[in-house]
Chain A
Amino acid sequence: MGKRVLLGALAILLVIAAAYGSFYIAPEERTMGVVQRIFYFHVGSAWAGMDAFLVCFICNLLYIWKREQKYDWLGVAAAEVGLVLTTVVLITGPIWAKPAWGIYWTWDARLTSTFVLWLLYVSYLLLRTLVEEPDRRALLSSLFGVFAFIDVPLVFGAIRWWRTQHPAPVIMGGPGSGLDPTMNKVFFFSVFAMHVLTAFLLVERYGLEKMKSDVDVLQREAEAL
């Protein structure tokens, strides 16, 4: 119990430190001005989200192979946390886009692909609600999770190719592309902070899933008596 509280406190501290760095340590960007500071939070969440989905993918594979419930618990936890992070990316993107480009949404390659990514994992979670038996639910969602994850590079690739055919404003020109060294340090610190936050949320969500399973077991015991 103490370890979880420690992790949570660490996560909060790091996130606040990252925000401080984004506002006071990173220099102001030339073309976009102060709005660009959203970048550290926006991209940090995006990378952490992708890593959460990667964890989900690995858990899906492990479940299909080993059939141990803990992989299913971690898998759904990772999918949910990844979805939350991706939601934040999709919300902060337009907030950045409006002052920077005058429009809330731009079908730029990255934002469009992120939207599809979001839809894929929403489908993953929806599938889970439609299968009642726990083992079948775990297997079916693991299989869909595998298909969804291998689709991700194809989605990003295809949309980026399509965008080169029909150029449109890009929200930001790639992380680290011509980033000032101080910006770079703040950026990677942000990414680190978001990952620690993700780890904390994963642990908490995993605990909830495990507890749900314990309740099921106890309920069956109580009914059997």
Chain B
Amino acid sequence: MSLLSNTSVLLGKELRTEFRSRELLTTTIVFILMVVVLFSFTFDPTTAESRRFGGGLLWLAFLFAASLMLQPCFLREQNNDTLSSLRLAISDPFAIFLAKLVANTLFLMLTELLMLPVFAVLYNVPILPTFHWLLLVLFLGSLGISVAGTALSAISAQARMRELLLPLLLLPILTPVLVASAEVTVGLLDRDPVMQWKGIGFLAVFDLVFLTALWMFGEYLLEE
């Protein structure tokens, strides 16, 4: 079977598993909401400051949420001992990773899109005029988080203290994503919105580099 068909079969499984219980999505959304509310206590969110800090705050919230949301990615397989059967059934390990990272990107974007209007209302920030560009940033940023997160989740699942280890590994690696996404988002939420294509470029390069790395080294991540 080709990479595409393998991936779509596995993707279907990932989506079905999650939408059956929806526990990952609901807990992630609530977590982001809490972070967004708590942030409001740490500085005075007058409109000018919200515009300046909003983008960064939002991505920080997404990053923290993702480092929790990505935990079960491979732990689920480990707990149910499904990884070896998965590897036997699907010859290409990259298909397993591709399915998981597409699913993770979708889940992340879903929670982000649900949170965006809430954030806009709470912090008085306009998202409609530049919504299509925001969508692009959300996609590229979430993809970056998912690619790195899925790969590192495979590593942390095989170590001790995995709940603490995943954020420890993930957050330094995702620095470029945070910097670029936050910067572009701040530009888009400004009074005179500006689209910073260099930031988009960085995100695209990050996504490409880590996708390639995952493709090259994926099979070793899944070694028994």
A and B touch in the complex (CB under 8 A): yes
Stretch touching chain B among A140-148, A176-184, A194-202, A209-217: A140-148
Q: Which residue in A136, A147, A159, A162 is a CB contact (below 8 Å) of B158? A: A136
Nearest-neighbour CB distance to chain B for A121, whole angstroms, equals 9
Known contacts: A64-B220, A127-B159, A147-B210. The answer to whether A161 contacts B152 by CB under 8 A is no
Tell me, in angstroms, the Cα distance from A110 to B162 when the chains sit together.
31
Partner of B169, one of A144, A146, A155: A144
Q: Contact between A131 and B160 (Cβ–Cβ < 8 Å)? A: yes
Q: Which residues of A sit under 8 angstroms from B158, Cβ to Cβ?
A: 131, 136, 140
A61, closest chain B residue (CB) = B217
Q: Which residues of B contact A116 (CB under 8 A)?
A: 172, 175
A126 and B168: CB pair below 8 A? yes
State which of A120, A154, A155 has its C-beta within 8 Å of the C-beta of B205: A154
- Interface: A222 (CB within 8 A): no
Which residues of A, 26-72, contact B by the 8 Å Cβ criterion?
64
Q: Does B202 contact A (CB under 8 A)?
A: yes
- What are the residues of chain B within 8 A of A139 when measuring CB–CB? 220, 223
- With an 8 A cutoff between CB atoms, is B180 at the interface? yes
A64 to B213, CA, bound (A): 13
- Tell whether A158 is near chain B: CB-to-CB under 8 Å: yes
Minimum C-beta distance from B113 to chain A (A): 24
Q: Determine whether the beta carbon of A146 is less than 8 Å from that of B198.
A: no
| Most B C-beta atoms less than 10 A away, residue of A119, A123, A126 | A123
B152-189 toward A: CB 8 Å interface, digit per residue (1/0)? 10010011110001001101110110011001000000
**Residues in B whose Cβ lies below 8 Å from that of A158:** 175-176, 179-180, 202
| Min CB–CB distance B221 → chain A (angstroms) | 6
List, in ascending order, chain B residues with CB within 8 A of A159's CB. Answer: 175-176, 179
The reply to whether B155 and A154 form a contact with Cβ atoms under 8 Å apart is no
A184 to chain B, nearest CB (A): 32
Chain B residues closer than 8 Å to A5, beta-carbon distance:
none
Give the distance in Å from the alpha carbon of A162 to the alpha carbon of B180 in the complex.
7
**Is the beta-carbon distance between B155 and A127 smaller than 8 angstroms?**
yes
Closest to B214 in A: A147
B206 lies within 8 A of chain A by Cβ: yes
Whether A119 lies near B183 (C-beta < 8 A) is no
Bound-complex Cα distance A162 to B59 (A): 15
Given the complex of chains A and B, what is the CA–CA distance between A150 and B212 in angstroms? 11
Query: How many angstroms between the C-alpha atoms of A132 and B158 in the bound complex?
Result: 10
Q: Does B209 interact with chain A (Cβ within 8 Å)? A: yes
Residues on A with beta carbons closer than 8 Å to the beta carbon of B199:
161
Chain A residue total in the interface (Cβ 8 A): 28
Note all chain A residues with C-beta closer than 8 A to B108.
none
Contact with A along B187-222 (1 / 0, CB 8 A): 000000000101100100110011001000100110
Q: Is the CB of A64 within 8 A of B179?
A: no
Q: Which residues of B contact A130 (CB under 8 A)?
A: 159-161, 165
B155 touches A165 (CB 8 A): no
A157, B159: Cα distance in complex, Å: 31
Determine the chain B residues whose CB is within 8 A of the CB of A204 once the complex forms. Answer: none
- Tell me the smallest distance from the CB of B35 to a CB of chain A, in Å: 21
A155 surroundings in chain B (CB, below 8 A): 175-176
* Docked CA distance A161–B206 (Å): 14
- The CA-CA distance from A131 to B169 in the complex, in Å, is 14
Q: For the complex, is B137 an interface residue (Cβ under 8 Å from A)?
A: no
User: Please, how many angstroms separate the alpha-carbon atoms of A165 and B223 in the complex?
Assistant: 43
- Within the complex, the shortest CB–CB distance from B159 to chain A, in Å, comes to 4
Q: A143-B217, A147-B210 are in contact. Are A123 and B202 (CB under 8 A)?
A: no
B58 interface hit (Cβ, 8 Å): no
B151 located at the interface, meaning its Cβ lies under 8 Å from any Cβ of chain A in the complex: yes
Supposing A64-B220, A130-B160, A131-B160 touch, asked if A147 and B152 sit within 8 A by C-beta, the answer is yes
Task: Give the Cβ gap from A185 to chain B, nearest Cβ, in Å.
Answer: 36
B173 lies within 8 A of A151 (CB)? yes
* Pair A119/B172 contact, Cβ less than 8 Å: yes
**Other than the known A126-B165, A147-B148, A147-B151, what 6 A-B pairs have Cβ atoms closer than 8 Å?**
A127-B165, A127-B168, A132-B160, A147-B213, A158-B202, A165-B196
Question: Top 9 nearest A-B pairs by Cβ distance?
Answer: A158-B176, A154-B176, A130-B159, A119-B172, A130-B160, A158-B179, A120-B172, A131-B159, A162-B179
